[in-house]
Amino acid sequence: MFLSFGDPRPFAEPIRRGGAKLICQVQSLRHVDQALEAGAAAVVAQGAEAGGHGAKRSTLPFAPEVADYLSKHSPTTLLLAAGGIADGRGLAAALMLGADGVVVGTRFWASEEALTPPGATDRAISATGDDTVRTTAIDSLRGVPWPEEFSFRVVKNKFTEQWAHREAEAAAEFGSLAGAYANA
């Protein structure tokens, strides 16, 4: 069972009773502690390069910090790296940083099995890191509350060009901007 963006401890016992292994995606050492207390078999050190929701830590410095932490506190817990890993070079880098493997997410938008709109898939495939932005404006407009520590990495579009760094204004204008978000 893969859990992220919250305290996994309340869910740990039912997961164990069901016979599943617990994998916790983490964005800070505080989250690592929670994962270990929950008995996670693996932790995923997610860097800010990951698409979708994430925090501020970069994969490159975060993964080895978690590797060192696990070696001292829970050496049998697997470490997987996530964020900005799209090919074998990223896998090789993660292994050199101390990870046991990787989790690849956004890269799968290119697969035939992906249930994404063709236009979104094409845009994601052609985008570079410079074509993305981290923002909380999208969550505000979707009416989905997220803790402040997590923002959303997305490929820029007309909506994010206007609102990505004006999140408070976007939240205040929720009703009138919902249509603009839907059309972006």
Element (H, E) at 53: strand 52-54
**Residues 149 and 55: beta-carbon distance below 8 Å:** yes
pLDDT-based confidence at residue 26 (cuts at 50, 70, 90)? very high
Give the residue carrying structure tokens 């817990």. 77
Q: Please choose, from the candidates 181, 109, 116, the residue with its C-alpha nearest in 3D space to the C-alpha of residue 144.
A: 181
User: Region 75-88: what's the mean pLDDT?
Assistant: 95
CA distance 83 to 57: 10
Instruction: Say what the pLDDT of residue 59 is.
Output: 92
User: Region 55-84: what's the mean pLDDT?
Assistant: 95
- Please say if the pLDDT value at position 182 is more than 80: no
Domain residue ranges of the chain, discontinuous segments joined by +: 1-116, 127-184
> Is domain 1-116 classified as CATH 2.40.50.140?
no
Answer left, alpha or beta for residue 155, where phi above 0 means left and psi between -120 and 50 means alpha. beta
CA distance 180 to 16: 44
Percent of the chain with pLDDT over 70: 94
More confident of the two residues 16 and 128: 16
Count CB neighbours of 23 within 10 A: 20
